[in-house]
């Protein structure tokens, strides 16, 4: 809200509160004055005088109020400045608090890390002490063994004195060479034995596979032998059937020849009876049978007609 609008609203509210009751009191006094006054001009002058007095009073009040409003505006601006300063101080204070919190957190983390590092170093120190104690025990055991094995050193010195070697380390090198050769020979023997075992295993698998194949071939051979035996028995059966078929065919061929001869004889007899020249081949038995059938049918019709006429004559 701007200062001018605030002043106008405050002035209206101020005058309403300060002079509202006074104006009512003055208005209540006016009828009494009118009753006492006898002249309207006098009353008008009095009213103008009272209006001037009220106007001067209002101006004074207005100036006083404006002065107070200016003072209040200045105080309001000062309060705004102080509020901004207070906000800035609050932000700085909050930033200071945050920085202190961060520093405190970093300090706590650093202290925690240092405590953890201290505990780790204590653990490492305890482990190192334990390892030191273990090494001391090992040193004691090795020292004891060294004393025990000193007799072997003396033995090796005597060996060097009574052999072609000049130093003990040459004996040890020779021993290591022999041990290495022995290990190589043992490894070669072991590899050879492993190869032999692998070869035996492969041979056993091969023999087993071949035995399975031989068994399968034997089974197949037995199955084929059974099929061969059944085929031989079937051949005997079919040979007997073929001989029977051939005998039957010979009989039927003979019967067919007899039928054809009889048919030809009948055909020739019919041809003679018909006294007609026929152009049917001597080998065409079907047509011969057709002509014979037609001749027999004609004879049957003639015979039926003759019998019918005889019966009619007998009736007459």
Q: What is the dihedral of CA 151, 153, 155, 158, to 10 degrees?
A: -140
For helices 3-36 and 40-161, give the axis angle rounded to 10 degrees: 160
pLDDT of residue 233: 83
- Round the CA-based radius of gyration of the chain to a whole number and report it: 78
Instruction: Supply the pTM of this predicted model.
Output: 0.26
Taking the C-alpha atoms of residue 198 and residue 202, their distance in angstroms, rounded to an integer, is 6
Taking the C-alpha atoms of residue 287 and residue 257, their distance in angstroms, rounded to an integer, is 16
For helices 168-274 and 285-315, give the axis angle rounded to 10 degrees: 40
Q: Which residues of the chain have pLDDT under 70?
A: 1-39, 152, 275-279, 316
As given in the structure block, the two tokens for residue 122 are: 């204590």
């Amino acid at each position: 809200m701007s200062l001018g609008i605030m002043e106008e609203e405050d002035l209206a509210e101020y005058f309403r509160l300060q002079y509202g009751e006074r104006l009512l009191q003055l208005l209540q006094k006016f009828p009494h004055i009118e009753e006492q006054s006898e002249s309207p001009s006098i009353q008008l002058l009095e009213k103008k005088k009272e209006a001037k007095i009220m106007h001067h009073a209002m101006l004074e009040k207005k100036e006083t109020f404006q002065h107070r409003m200016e003072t209040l505006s200045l105080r309001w601006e000062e309060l705004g400045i102080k509020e901004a300063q207070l906000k800035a101080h609050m932000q700085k204070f909050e930033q200071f608090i945050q920085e202190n919190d961060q520093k405190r957190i970093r300090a706590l983390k650093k202290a925690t890390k240092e405590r953890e590092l201290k505990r780790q170093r204590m653990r490492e120190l305890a482990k190192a002490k334990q390892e030191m104690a273990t090494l001391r025990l090992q040193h004691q055991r090795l020292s004891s063994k060294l004393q025990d094995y000193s007799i072997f050193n003396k033995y090796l010195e005597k060996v060097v004195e009574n052999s072609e070697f000049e130093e003990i380390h040459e004996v040890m090198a020779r021993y290591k060479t022999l041990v290495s050769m022995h290990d190589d020979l043992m490894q070669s023997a072991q590899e050879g034995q492993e190869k032999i075992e692998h070869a035996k295993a492969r041979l056993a698998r091969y023999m087993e596979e071949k035995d399975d194949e031989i068994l399968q071939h034997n089974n197949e051979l037995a199955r084929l032998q059974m099929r061969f035996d059944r085929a031989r028995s079937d051949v005997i059966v079919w040979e007997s059937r073929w001989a029977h078929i051939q005998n039957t065919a010979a009989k039927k061929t003979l019967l067919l020849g007899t039928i054809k001869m009889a048919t030809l004889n009948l055909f020739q007899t019919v041809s003679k009876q018909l006294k007609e020249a026929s152009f049917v081949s001597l080998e065409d038995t079907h047509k011969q049978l057709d002509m014979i059938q037609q001749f027999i049918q004609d004879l049957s019709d003639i015979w039926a007609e003759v019998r019918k006429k005889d019966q009619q004559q007998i009736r007459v």
